[in-house]
Amino acid sequence: MQATYIKYILNFKRPSGTSRGVLTKKETWFLILKENGKTGIGECGILRSLSMDDRPDYEDKLKWVCENIHLGQERLWEELRDFPSIQFGVEMAFKSLEAANPFLLFPSKFTEGKSAIPINGLVWMGEAAYMKEQIVQKIEDGFSCIKLKIGAIDFETEINLLRYIRKEFSSEEIEIRVDANGAFSISGALKKLERLSKFDLHSIEQPVKQGQWETMADLCEKTPLPIALDEELIGITDLNKKHELLEIVKPQYLIFKPSLIGGFKGTKEWIDLAQAQDIKWWITSALESNVGLNAIAQFTFTLRNPMPQGLGTGGLYTNNFPAPLEVQKGHLWHRSQKEWNFNL
């Protein structure tokens, strides 16, 4: 088996704001396996400043993987616990190599185009007028669940945007999720949650920065608004530590980004723990190209979670790879009649 890797820079169509800054570019890496005339493709999607494996030796580890590909998927996965995005790329590449079609990893009614995945429409941070424009567009596009990034602009402006939505649409018509990306202060978080709860929101992701388990546990106990852990899961690779986090914090929801938590296997570990404690969850992409998004979507469909998932990021880039993925009326479809164009 031959293994190589290629770096690829994805360019945003429009600068996209989060509480950690504005994104204009996103780097990703493709692991390419070749054996007996077949090709396997895996995406190692790193998010700078957020991924556990945002390290100076990242490319060195990719080289090591290519040089040691003979160890096989299971052994490599264990050796890569400090590099969750590479774990994901390795899993994807081996699954792709085994498949009849390198992009058909989990055959299902989804890949046959017979069933779709409900998704939320993502509204990025920005000036109030731009955020309002996005909200209107998502609703016109048929989304019944929208997710707003908050925490970077004035809180009163964000409250007014939520007031605007609720004036036009009830919670039965539009489900609203908000994502603070850890932007709230410890002292002010609960008051903000109380104000946000007035707008019949579904949930808030990561109100305060990760790593403050006791603070988050207190918030989850007192909150009038369901809390979803997102960044909190990053960097926790030991199964006992994962169990300890959920036992202490007792969140209402968990959000899984396979690129950030060890791919399919890492996600399944979290799902098993969540279900044992009756914690609900959903899956979100982490700004991968269509290659990674395709793998995550196919995997997600097999889990049969009826909640809207966070898989609507395929249209963010000017130079994404044409793929059979299509968003229509708040659902992600796999249109098998459309062709892939994966040219690096």
Find the largest Cα–Cα distance for the chain: 61
Q: How many residues does the chain have?
A: 344
Listing DSSP states for 244-312 in one string gives: HHHHHH--SEEEE-HHHHTHHHHHHHHHHHHHHTT-EEEEB--S--HHHHHHHHHHHHHTT--SPBB--
**CA torsion angle for 77, 80, 86, 89 (degrees, to 10)?**
-10
Burial (CB < 10 A; 0-12, 13-18, 19+), residue 140, is: exposed
The verdict on whether 198 is a catalytic residue reads no
**Angle between the N-to-C axes of helices 84-98 and 290-302, in degrees from 0 to 180, rounded to the nearest 10:** 80
| Amino acid residing at 64 | W
Burial class (CB in 10 A: 0-12, 13-18, 19+), 206: buried
- Give me the catalytic one of 257, 265, 268, 329: 257
Is 149 annotated in the active site?
yes
Q: Which of 26, 95, 138, 149 is catalytic?
A: 149
284 phi-psi bin (left φ>0, alpha ψ -120 to 50, beta other): beta
User: Which residues are part of the catalytic machinery?
Assistant: 149, 257
